[in-house]
């Protein structure tokens, strides 16, 4: 084996090692980890909204048993559920501000429709005392709380990621490898007009 053939692999290893250190020092690994955390946090947001969506049919069914005449409310819930369910949500939506706004608006409309559905129970004492309805109320309340936490965690993860993308020297790696800033999950102008949600599950 010649001296030249020995030196070449050594030089190649040194270049690779230097490149790896450079990527790490410039924040590539941190950007990658933060990007994955944003995606994971977003998945939890979607999961909790899906959990809420899965509760809707049973909730509507039990309310209808006692309040069949509240057809307008049922229609509003059905329309809101259809809008929310009609939006395809993938991690790619994080790079599409308009898609994020549509998803947020649809979920806020679903929140408003559910608020009106729950308000129906105040007019029907027998509905309020129904064991299944009470169980669904508790599940919905828990889900709303988990949605709030999931949205908060996602926005915090996204804010940390966006800060890294803008900050030197990580911004150099961000530009080279295509790490772009992502949208926070916030209420749109349209969504802000939806009725406030006030789930008072302790009222009898």
Does residue 27 have a pLDDT over 70?
yes
Residue 10's pLDDT band, with cuts at 50, 70 and 90, is: very low
The residue ranking higher by pLDDT, 71 or 192, is 71
Does residue 18 have a pLDDT over 60?
no
* Tens digits of residue pLDDT in 126-136: 999 999 999 99
Decide: 165 and 181 in contact? Cβ < 8 Å: yes
The whole model's pTM is what? Answer: 0.78
**How many of the other CB atoms lie within 10 Å of CB of 5?**
8
The rounded distance, in Å, linking the Cα atoms of 181 and 164 is 9
Q: What are the Cα distances from residue 93, in Å, to 3, 81, 161, 162?
A: 54, 20, 16, 16
Please tell me whether the peptide bond between 49 and the residue prior to it is cis, using omega within 30 degrees of 0: no
Least confident of 40-44, 47-51, 134-138, 184-188: 184-188
């Amino acid at each position: 084996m010649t001296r030249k053939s020995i030196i070449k692999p050594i030089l190649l290893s040194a270049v690779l090692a230097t490149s790896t250190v450079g990527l790490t020092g410039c924040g590539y690994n941190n950007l990658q980890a933060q990007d994955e955390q944003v995606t994971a946090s977003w998945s939890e947001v979607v999961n909790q909204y899906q959990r809420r969506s899965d509760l809707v049919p049973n909730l509507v069914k039990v309310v209808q048993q006692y309040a069949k005449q509240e057809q307008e409310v049922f229609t509003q819930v059905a329309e809101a559920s259809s809008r929310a369910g009609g939006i395809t949500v993938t991690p790619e939506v994080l790079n599409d501000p308009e898609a994020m706004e549509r998803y947020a608006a649809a979920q806020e409309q679903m929140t408003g429709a559910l608020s009106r559905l729950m308000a129906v129970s105040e007019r029907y004492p027998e509905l309020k005392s129904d064991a299944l309805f009470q169980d669904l109320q508790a599940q919905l309340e828990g889900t709303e709380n988990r949605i709030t936490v999931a949205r908060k965690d996602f926005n915090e993860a996204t804010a940390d990621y966006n800060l890294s993308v803008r900050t030197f020297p990580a911004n150099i790696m961000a530009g080279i490898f295509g790490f772009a800033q992502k949208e926070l999950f916030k209420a749109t102008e349209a969504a802000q007009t939806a009725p406030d949600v006030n789930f008072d599950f302790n009222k009898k």
